[in-house]
Amino acid sequence: MSKSWVVVLLGTSQTLAWASSYYIPAILAGAMARELGLEASTVFVAFSCAMLFTAFLGPRVGRAIDQYGGRVVLLASNLVFILGLAMLAMAHGPVMLFAAWLVLGLGMAMGLYDAAFATLAGLYGKDARSAITGITLIAGFASTIGWPISGLMLSEFGWRGACWGWALVHLALAMPINLMLPRPTQRAAPAAAKPVAPPSAESQRETRRTAILMAFVFASGGFAAAALAAHLPALLVSAGATPAAAIAAGALMGPAQVAARVLEFTVLRRAHPLLSAKIAQVTHPIGAGVLLLLGAPFAPLFVLLHGAGNGINTIVRGTLPLAVFGAAGYGARQGLIVAPARFLGAVAPALFGFVVAAFGAHALWVTAGLSLAAFAALFMLRVAPGSPEGPR
């Protein structure tokens, strides 16, 4: 099976996975809360618990992909998604609600980007970079597709019907698509076929240091992305934009992310992912500085810069560890490296909300500072010039 066809298949199944899990609270949470007699915030707390569970399970899922191949794990994720969505559809109180979201958290750990990246690393080794970019280009439209579909099912069948509808999508569409992915026996053989000496203590220390630096970089980007996903319109209003202007500027987020991924796929595809990582980390603080210093008229520019960095960050999270450490053991290592980003992404909306309440738009100095610290950390990474993805 050609790499392009694998990208189309995996990108499509990723779109459906994101649309039916991560993106459903924005549309269904209000209706869920009203019928269950809860505050809408309770639904989002349950969702945050699911994200924390996803972070905890990441390394275990990665090891399973290393051992059994991504196809098996992604197929299992469809079954877990179906179970979680069915439980959500049958929930009649907070206990079942939280239990359903924990099951969906397991599904997200098994079925979203990091699992897909590990799948591609197992299939193509260090040649997986273009494939990783390709699936993020397709699945970048998950909210664009998912929100209208969830809204349509909500208006026609209610929120319970919408959950059943997404469960049916997994059964009838996503699972057959994942079933078409190459089997584990079709994975490329590891590039390092020659016997190698065990790594020295110094080499192991350097590996740990590099992994910690990467984890910090991804955690900083993950915090900023999750925080602004929840508070962007309010921040723009605090900076002086009208509500209508804030919504119009916020709508530029999706196109900016996709445009940046196209840039990564074309102009930056032959550069080391470290360069892409540096670009991704510096765009947010530049945009934040422009907005805070020059005011609301520059809100669209801020959103474009933040969205571009966020779009590239998603790709770098998969490609940088692959370029630096290689494909061997990628799944387990990736799960560990991105775990802090997942934890911070789960709590960032609540934590950043307190900062926004206290400081308004000036809360952006927090995310800008984190991004600049991550940008500085990237200069501390040591990449071997002779590596297959080394500087050119």
Residues 130-142 have pLDDT tens digits of 899 899 889 888 8
- Burial tier of 282 (Cβ tally within 10 Å: 0-12, 13-18, 19+): middle
Are the C-beta atoms of residues 115 and 61 closer than 8 Å to each other? yes
The pLDDT, as a whole number, for residue 215 is 94
b/e per residue 226-263 (b: at least 16 CB within 10 A): bbbbbbbbbbbbbbebeeebbeebbebbbbbbbebbeb
The pLDDT, as a whole number, for residue 212 is 94
Are the C-beta atoms of residues 106 and 80 closer than 8 Å to each other? yes
For the chain, list residues with pLDDT below 50: 185-194, 385-392
Residue 221's φ and ψ, nearest 5 degrees, are -65, -40
User: The whole model's pTM is what?
Assistant: 0.81
Q: Alpha-carbon distance 392 to 389, whole Å? A: 8
Residues 167-176 have pLDDT tens digits of 999 999 999 9
Tokens of 230: 């929840």
b/e per residue 352-364 (b: at least 16 CB within 10 A): beebbeeeebebb
Q: Alpha-carbon distance 264 to 313, whole Å? A: 10
* SS3 track for 217-271: HHHHHHHHHHHHHHHHHHHHHHCCCCHHHHHHHHCCHHHHHHHHHHHHHHCCCCC
